[in-house]
Amino acid sequence: RKEVEQDPGPFNVPEGATVAFNCTYSNSASQSFFWYRQDCRKEPKLLMSVYSSGNEDGRFTAQLNRASQYISLLIRDSKLSDSATYLCVVNRGARGSARQLTFGSGTQLTVLP
């Protein structure tokens, strides 16, 4: 089983749509969870950290379900500028590897005019 698994997409949605991405992780010892976005051939940029209680940042809402080892990202009122690859990122969690981030392969989103 992959350490971090995401649906690769692509998701093609019209402007203004709501879109949701899901991610599962295999290491129950993981303690830190993030969503990054990556534009084509650019660096990963932090979108938001994900907390157990769920958190929201403007149009973006992240949820974490530790029991199911599942993370989600909801984007409301999507904009053209939201077009990117969304990376689910988890720390490895094990002693001696706590700061290693493990990246999913990403979900590609294209927002259409």
In sequence order, which residues have a C-beta less than 8 Å from that of residue 91 and are 6 or more positions away?
30, 31, 32, 33, 98, 99, 100, 101, 102
Those residues with Cβ within 8 angstroms of residue 95's Cβ, 6 or more apart along the chain or in another chain? none
Size of the site for another protein (CB under 8 A): 23
Q: How far is the CB of 94 from another protein (least distance, A)?
A: 10
From 31, 65, 77, 112, residue interacting with another protein (rule: CB under 8 A): 31
> Which CB, 5 or 13, lies closer to another protein?
5
Q: What does the alpha-carbon distance between residue 33 and residue 43 come to, in Å, rounded to a whole number?
A: 18
62 touches 2 (CB < 8 A)? no
Task: Please identify which residue in 22, 32, 69, 72 interacts with another protein, judged by CB under 8 A.
Answer: 32
User: Whole-number minimum distance, CB 111 to another protein, in Å?
Assistant: 23
In the chain, count H helices and then E strands: 0, 11
Residue 101, interface with another protein (CB under 8 A)?
A: yes
Q: Counting contacts by CB under 8 A, is residue 49 touching another protein? A: yes
| Interacting residues toward another protein by CB under 8 A | 31-32, 34, 41-46, 49, 87, 91, 96-106
